[in-house]
């Protein structure tokens, strides 16, 4: 492991196991944990892990029996970092990785049965204050712009009956994101929900209050703490002939 790398202990689905991260790798998040729990892989599935980061959710999909997993992330060392993690965990023979924005770098004819859409869903100003993101950028001014683009592009990458596993959170414009998903997909069903405390440095940020006042984010007050909800949705296309 180089001096620029660190390790992360994944304790979610199929864990525990250790991942190697670089300074440019987005580490698995709270939403990654509940995405892993909601992940349902069918025999013979091809999976696209969009926003794969360390490769963790694609690795979980492979461990659950996916035939093939394709990961993609905008971080410049995605192929090296995620590929090394897949190798260390014994699933590299069923995984390949690409560096790029959403689906742009994937082969044009590549389609899948399942897309894991773990892209940033935090408003840009919150991303900047939080320190969660290596490049300091979130999912757009309202935290929904990037995942909405994912929702609109996903159907072209799905086979008939294919599914998008979509995380949302009340620290983004969740209403607009869900409205987009319901416009694009004939079926949108909630698969998981969990409540999380907002870190104190975010709670004290004037940006949080501004976004709450504007109705962009929706936080719950409990005593002195602010809480947010993370949710996972399964968005499905009609099967062939449906």
Residue range 178-196, pLDDT digits in tens: 999 999 999 999 999 999 9
Q: Which residue from 136, 193, 200, 145 is spatially nearest to 170, judged by alpha carbons?
A: 193
The predicted pLDDT at position 22 comes to 94
* Domain locations along the chain: 28-236
Tally the C-alpha atoms within 13 A of residue 73's C-alpha that lie toward its C-beta: 31
137 vs 173 pLDDT, higher one: 173
How would residue 232 be classed by pLDDT, with cut points 50, 70 and 90?
very high
Closest CA to 52 of 36, 70, 37: 70
What is the structure's pLDDT at 241? 62
Rounded CA-CA distance 158/166 in Å is: 14
Greater confidence (134 vs 201) lies with 201
Please check the confidence at residue 1 and state whether its pLDDT lies above 70. Answer: no
When comparing pLDDT for 24 and 186, which is higher?
186
Place of tokens 């909630």: 190
Question: What is the rounded average pLDDT of the residues 21-28?
Answer: 91
| pLDDT (0 to 100) of residue 4 | 74
Which pair of tokens denotes residue 123? 């408003």
Determine whether domain 28-236 maps to CATH 3.40.1350.10: no
Q: The whole model's pTM is what?
A: 0.94
Q: What is the pLDDT of residues 96-138, one digit of tens each?
A: 999 999 999 999 999 999 999 998 788 888 888 877 777 667 8
Q: Look at 130 and 55; give whichever has higher pLDDT.
A: 55
């Amino acid at each position: 492991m180089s001096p620029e790398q660190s390790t992360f202990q994944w304790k979610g689905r199929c864990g525990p196991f250790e991942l190697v991260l670089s300074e440019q790798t987005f580490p698995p998040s709270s939403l990654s944990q509940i995405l892993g729990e909601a992940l349902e892989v069918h025999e013979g599935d091809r999976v696209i892990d969009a926003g794969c980061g360390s490769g963790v959710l694609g690795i979980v999909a492979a461990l659950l029996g996916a035939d093939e997993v394709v990961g993609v992330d905008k971080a410049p060392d995605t192929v090296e970092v995620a590929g090394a993690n897949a190798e260390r965990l014994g699933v590299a023979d069923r995984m390949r990785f690409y560096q790029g924005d959403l689906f742009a770098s994937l082969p044009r004819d590549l389609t899948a049965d399942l897309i894991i859409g773990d892209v940033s869903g935090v408003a840009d100003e919150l991303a900047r204050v939080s320190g969660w993101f290596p490049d300091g950028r979130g999912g757009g001014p309202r935290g929904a712009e990037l995942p909405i683009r994912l929702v609109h592009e996903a159907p072209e990458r799905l086979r008939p009956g294919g599914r998008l596993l979509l995380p949302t959170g009340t620290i983004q414009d969740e209403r607009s994101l869900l409205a987009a998903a319901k416009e694009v997909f004939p079926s949108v069903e909630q698969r998981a929900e969990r409540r999380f405390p907002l870190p104190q440095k975010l709670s004290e940020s004037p940006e949080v209050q501004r976004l709450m006042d504007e109705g962009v984010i929706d936080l719950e007050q409990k005593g002195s703490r602010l809480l947010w909800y993370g949710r996972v949705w399964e968005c499905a296309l009609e099967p062939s002939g449906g």
